[in-house]
Amino acid sequence: MKLEVWDEIAALERRMDDLMRAFLGPRVRLSYPTLPLFLRRPFVPATDVFARNGDLVVRLEVPGIDPATDVNVTVEGGELVIRGERKQKEEVEEERYYRMEASYGAFERHIPVPEGIDEGKVKADYADGVLEVTFLAAAKEIEAPKAKTIPVQAARKVKAA
């Protein structure tokens, strides 16, 4: 399922909040938390891939995990595979929520790595909610993609009859 569905549901929820507040006043506490709780957004950690000092770095934002038990980092089939789970630490009854925007659950990210990477020169560190996987001296292996300019042609106007 695409994430756009979740964005549409969140937009609908905001519009319903605005509508209810228009009728009941701006300070009303809405008590219909079932829509966002039944349709939870999947947890997809934000990921950055960049070069730093000749190294290829993959950085994931995964706050609230225990790196010893909640995440697994492997290189398989030409891909960096990061699997894990962000667990909800505190159990709160659903009827006590007014809004739930944090995402929890299992996640899996696949990032292609350049051919010829020495798997012995990969390290993973976790600090301050950020998992950083570094392929030592791998950025030199990556060739910058060559840009190809594609001409844009103007559409012909159709004469009205």
Assess whether 68 and 8 both reside in one domain.
no
Question: Which residues, at least 6 apart from 135, have a Cβ–Cβ distance to it below 8 Å?
Answer: 55, 56, 57, 58, 113, 117, 121, 122
- pLDDT of 144: 62
What is the reported pLDDT for 147?
83
pLDDT tens digits for range 7-60: 777 778 778 777 776 776 665 555 444 444 445 567 889 999 999 998 999 999
Task: Give the residue from 145, 137, 72, 69 showing the smallest Cα distance to 108.
Answer: 72
pTM of the model: 0.62
Q: What is the pLDDT of residues 115-152, one digit of tens each?
A: 878 888 899 999 999 999 999 988 765 666 678 898 89
Both structure tokens of 63: 């706050």
> How many Cβ atoms sit within 10 Å of the Cβ of residue 47?
14
Confidence (pLDDT) at 141: 57
Residues 72 and 107 in one domain: yes
Its sign, for the CA torsion 66, 68, 72, 73, is positive
* Domain CATH code at residue 107: 2.60.40.790
Range of the domain at 17: 1-30
Per residue in 47-70, pLDDT tens? 999 999 989 999 999 998 999 999
Same domain, 85 and 112: yes
Domain total of the chain: 2
Radius of gyration of the chain (CA): 23
Residue 37 is assigned to a structural domain of this protein: no
